[in-house]
Amino acid sequence: MKILLDEKALHDGVAGMARQIELAYEGRHLTIVGVLTGSVVLMADLIRLIQLPMRVGVIQASSYRGATTERGDLIINSELMIDISNRDVLLVDDIFDTGHTLTRVIEKMHEFEPSSIRSAVLLKKEGRVEVDYTPDFAAFDIPDEFVVGYGLDYEDMYRNLPYLAALEQNDLEEHAALSMNQR
């Protein structure tokens, strides 16, 4: 794997984004909603860094299934989400790629009538956006590569890596061979 962001760079970028969020919500209560499952590491770090009164919840959204790097149909499950009506909401997600997932989740969340919704992402992928939307907060811009680590996965693996890495072709082949041996 090719390491794109090491642990220190990730920490510094997330801490910088946390400061921006604090300034934007200064003097207000915040409801942070993380998009499962990719945002859990980012959300855990953010809620420890942001020094504001807050509530924390999750929403489930997924558009990737199995051994694919191609987007499929988006499934959104809001049953796990806390009450967001009349609240200032910060939606936290791992990556802003084409933008379809984030914009659809925001549309869904508007049904619950929050006072406001802003978004924060760990990564904005360069050259992939297909929607007319930009996240309010982003820690990093990255090249158009398939990345894992710090919550991001490939076939539900690699989320635990403390750094962000790009999967290369030999990594995919190695992963496929290991997966075949475990079946």
Q: Where are the domains of the chain?
A: 2-181
Note the pTM of the prediction, 2 decimals.
0.89
pLDDT confidence tier of residue 71, bands split at 50, 70 and 90: low
Catalytic one of 12, 45, 97, 141: 97
97 is catalytic: yes
Separation of alpha carbons 50 and 73, rounded Å: 33
CATH topology of domain 2-181: Rossmann fold (3.40.50)
Whether the Cβ atoms of residue 104 and residue 59 lie closer than 8 Å to each other: no
Can you tell me whether residue 48 is helix, strand or coil? helix
The residue type at 55 = R
DSSP per-residue string spanning 103-139: HHHHHHHHTT--SEEEEEEEEEETT---SS---SEEE
What's the pLDDT score for residue 68?
A: 47
Looking up tokens 């309010």 gives: 136
Could you read off the pLDDT of 126-154 as tens digits, one per residue? 998 999 999 999 999 999 999 999 999 99
